[in-house]
Copies of this chain bind each other. A is one copy, B any other.
Amino acid sequence: MSQVPVFYRQRLLTPGPTQVPEAVLLEMAQPIIHHRTKQFQAIFAELSQRLSRVFRTKNPVLTITGSGTTAFEAAQVSLVKPGSRVLTISCGKFGERWQDIYDRYAPVLDIKENVKLDVPWGQAPTAAQVEQILKDKPDISVVTIVHSETSTATACDLKAIAAVVGKSNALLIADGITSVGAMPVEMDGWGVDVLVTGSQKAMMLPPGLGYVGLGERALARLEEVPVRGAYNLDLRAWLKGWKKNDVPFTPGVSLIRGQRVALEMIENAGLETVWARTRKLADATRAAMAAMGLKPISQSPSDSVSGAFYPEGVEDSKFRAALRDKHGVHIAGGQDGRGAKWKSSIMRVSSMGYVDAGDILVAMAAIEAELITCGCKIAPGSALAAAGKVLGA
């Protein structure tokens, strides 16, 4: 296949996959090692320890071959009690996916009711809403929540929601796919029972690994709930392997090597420093968007991704093609779901992981230039001025 040669640097600012540091790419290009060796076990053990520190937990974080969806589905099927209700909270496309998964499994896992809390896209669910539902339906055994809803660039107050769920008999399974490593998440400190993330976001790796942190209550639930269906997705098998620095099925050895290096980079920089930096880049992005007169999509913005509605007259696919072809800047559009149809009406820019001020500044300058090309009335330089003010502060 002949690939279009692109000489100039390409900037990937989509909210997953995200850019991967060169050191990680080269680590993954090392010769393959076998997974039943001391060398691999040492790498895996170190990765597991680093994962627990980044999840802010003293408990296991399992490494699962697959996508973030694989990992989240595994948590959903492994932890629900037969005959119970589940509460699935959605404020965007990913929340809807976790709702769909329990709908799909309801008959085979004997789920009495899939209680759905649907919050308008762009808004975040509140602890009070969750508390009320748990009071009304005390036989809910699992609550799913999205910490950072990538499709709407929206973050909820996970700490407050975890506190409310912690007082009930339900376990909280939190989607931290675009929050872990990007913004403050304290798994043990906040009492998050299960925290899931994927490799291709703030963890600075290509897609291919999912991670599941299991708190005390989740570990107890695993002992208690019978296994139904799920073989590869059975968390018990992964937990058993984890205890021996092993995995039940041939693991992604290259990705695991790369993830160890990426987490070493994050820990060497300091996790709080990475959080602060991600926030600063998001703040700069949002300031630039505001300076260009763009309306934000979220009323409760996440630090990992920022989104804005297109002004009238801007056509999504043409606009993003111009960013790619003329500026080497790759950003995301929107998605359609039950809660909204945003496929062609929004743009989203990531600030997660291996992205720096230069990437954001180039992206903002490119967005400004192409909006002006589309006829938007923007004073040239406003986006960079606004972003620069934040970055320099």
A residues adjacent to B (C-beta < 8 A): 1, 3-4, 10, 12, 14, 16-20, 25-26, 28-35, 37, 39, 42-43, 46, 65-70, 73, 77, 100-101, 104-105, 107-109, 198, 200, 206-208, 227-234, 249-255, 260, 324, 330, 332
Contacts and interface: CB of A to CB of B under 8 A. Distances in A.
B34 A29 contact: no
A161 to B, nearest CB: 24
A231 to B, nearest CB: 5
A104 B230 contact: yes
A53 B52 CA distance: 44
B229 A104 contact: yes
Contacts of A229: 77, 104-105, 108-109, 229-230
A233 to B, nearest CB: 7
Given A73-B232, A208-B255, A17 B1 contact: no
A250 B207 contact: yes
Nearest to A104: B231
A346 B112 CA distance: 50
Given A39-B3, A104-B227, A232 B32 contact: no
A29 B27 CA distance: 9
A1 B42 CA distance: 8
Contacts of A30: 25
10 contacts: A3-B42, A17-B35, A25-B31, A32-B206, A65-B65, A65-B208, A68-B249, A105-B231, A206-B255, A208-B208
Contact of A67 (B12, B14, B249, B254): B249
Given A17-B32, A37-B330, 18 more contacts: A1-B43, A3-B42, A16-B250, A19-B31, A20-B32, A25-B28, A28-B29, A28-B206, A29-B29, A34-B332, A68-B249, A77-B229, A101-B231, A104-B227, A105-B231, A206-B253, A229-B230, A252-B252
A286 to B, nearest CB: 22
Nearest to A1: B46
A172 B252 CA distance: 28
Chain A contact residues: helix, strand, loop or mixed:
loop
Most buried by B among A30, A33, A109, A229: A229
Contacts of A1: 42-43, 46, 260
A207 B251 contact: yes
A70 B19 CA distance: 27
Contacts of A65: 65-67, 70, 207-208
B107 A228 contact: yes
A305 to B, nearest CB: 14
Given A14-B34, A28-B29, A207-B252, A69 B108 contact: no
A185 to B, nearest CB: 20
A28 B253 CA distance: 13
Given A67-B232, A73-B232, A206-B254, A17 B34 contact: yes
Contacts of A324: 37
Contact of A69 (B105, B230, B249): B249
Contacts of A101: 231
Contacts of A250: 16-17, 67-69, 198, 200, 207
